[in-house]
Amino acid sequence: MTPTRSAVRLSDGRELIYFDEKPGSGRSAYADSRQLPPPPPASQLRYDPLVDEWIAIAAHRQTRTFLPPTDACPLCPTTDRFASEIPAPDYDVVVFENQFPSFSDRIVPDEISELTEMVPVRPGLGRCEVVCFTSDHNSAFGSLPPSRVRTVVEALADRTAELSGLPGVAQVFPFENRGVEIGVTLHHPHGQIYAYPTVPPRTAAMLRAAERHATKTGGRNLYADVLAAEQTAKVRVIASNEHWTAYVPAASRWPFEVHVAPHRRVPDLPALSDAERDAFGPLYLDVLRRFDGLFGKPMPYISAWHQAVVGEGRDLGYLHLQLFSIRRAADKLKFLAGSESAMGAFVNDVVPEQAAQLLRDAA
């Protein structure tokens, strides 16, 4: 199923794209009635020489909308009483440029080249988009039908392909934050897409490991070998179908963490076949419902698509989704305190094999 795609411009020039499950909706005919100020300039990237990483400074994000009441939610459809980010009175899936982006293609005026001889500075060029999964404010991704999940996958594949072609983009990262415990600022079911101008630290580490493994094994793919080992061991597998396997990693960082991976090695979402796109939704929804069933209440989580980088190292990638929660017990959260935050050394309170069994039992 390929949704009907129609793009419009909001009053400040940002792009919005409707992905309609049925043609002829006419949603693109609705104009944005608001008078918005121009979008902010691009953020600033500052280099940290101590760890060889770039840090984004985006002060304008301090003013972003924070947990508004339902009747003022900017992700709901526009009504007679409130004009939201989505001009149409209803929608299936919609994607638009973030009003408060961490990265954008708008250049910072009076660009600074360095703060010290050790800390160069450059514009945070890239793009940040919001993905609304449903017009129903009170729904959740785990409550969507498989057909809607398929529409979301189509939208993410569309955006991955387009954003990967933008100048300077190093990696496209779709993700969802769910729950106030995670830090969401809007309750409406939605995700985001970051088109990074640099390779993020975790991806850089994964590329280094994958390259070492390929060198040592004569070109074998690291993630493919890890997936095959988990499928053979079976003890941490949560669910599977013809095209996908969901498993708890043997060295999980988070109390409850699951990887959902296609059996065929592909670099990113656009490379998935129709059969693989169809098969993802039922399996992923099953895993999400197990998460919610674990403690009998909505589970806060982060759902992160790991895709191949755009440039050098793309051949080492293997598309997979990482789903994890900071909840370690019904009434306890895992906080990233001293060891994790200061040193990046994770200590997991839940044995991965136990987590896998609990998730299997949560059906």
C-alpha torsion angle, residues 105, 110, 111, 113 (rounded to 10)? 170
Helices vs. strands in the chain: H and E counts, helices first = 6, 17
Amino acid letter for position 356: A
Tell me the angle at which helices 274-294 and 352-361 cross, rounded to the nearest 10 degrees: 90
Look-up of token digits 């969507």: 144
Q: Which two tokens stand for residue 354?
A: 């136990």
Structure tokens at 110: 């009076």
| Partner residues linked to 192 by β-bridges | 130, 175
Selected catalytic residue, list 187, 188, 190, 320: 190
Amino acid code (one letter) for 139: S
CA 118 to chain centre: 32
Alpha helices in the chain (DSSP H): 146-164, 201-217, 222-233, 274-294, 343, 352-361
Cβ count near 121 (within 10 Å): 18
Which H or E run contains 120? strand 119-124
Task: Record the tokens describing residue 139, joined without a space.
Answer: 């729904």
The yes-or-no answer on residue 190 being catalytic is yes
d(CA 280, CA 243): 8
From the list 241, 130, 108, the residue with the least C-alpha distance to 177 is 130
Are the beta carbons of 330 and 267 closer than 8 angstroms? no
At what angle are helices 201-217 and 222-233 packed, to 10 degrees? 80
Instruction: Give the catalytic positions in this structure.
Output: 190
